[in-house]
Amino acid sequence: MKRKAYTCEDGTVAILDVDKDETLYDSQWVDGRQQNRGTDLIVHKTKKGKLIFYEYNWTQWQGECSSIIVLDGESIGIAKWILERYGWFSEKEL
């Protein structure tokens, strides 16, 4: 799955697209080695300017499926969560 329809709080539908949205973290290469599966951090900007952060869990293994998981910023404090999980981003960058 590389695309997913997501319904925003205001009822509008955003199309999350791994190929078009901005990748903040790409897990294809880790410590100089190419990976067979990973989790990328991606951000989608809606027409109204709202940012939707999501993880793209991808795999190259036959029989496994890739998925998109939207990160709910209201319930987890998205900036804090990103700083904890992806520590090399600064608060200014977010």
Domain total in the chain:
1
In a domain, residue 92? The reply is no
Q: Is 20 helix (H, G, I), strand (E, B) or coil?
A: coil
In a domain, residue 74? The reply is yes
List b or e across 69-85, with b for residues whose CB sees 16 or more CB atoms inside 10 angstroms: eebebeeeebeeebbee
Quick check: 91 pLDDT over 60?
Answer: no
Give 32's DSSP letter.
Answer: T
In a domain, residue 53? The reply is yes
In a domain, residue 93? The reply is no
In a domain, residue 94? The reply is no
Average pLDDT, the chain: 83
Instruction: Write the pLDDT tens digit of every residue in 36-72.
Output: 999 998 999 998 888 898 999 999 898 889 999 998 7
In a domain, residue 32? The reply is yes
Report the predicted TM-score, pTM, of the whole model to 2 decimal places.
Answer: 0.75
Which residues, at least 6 apart from 2, have a Cβ–Cβ distance to it below 8 Å? 17, 18, 19, 56, 66
Q: Which domain holds residue 81?
A: 3-85
In a domain, residue 47? The reply is yes
Please give the C-alpha separations between residue 73 and each of 27, 35, 63, in angstroms, as whole numbers. Answer: 22, 28, 31
In a domain, residue 58? The reply is yes
pLDDT bracket for residue 83 (50, 70, 90): confident
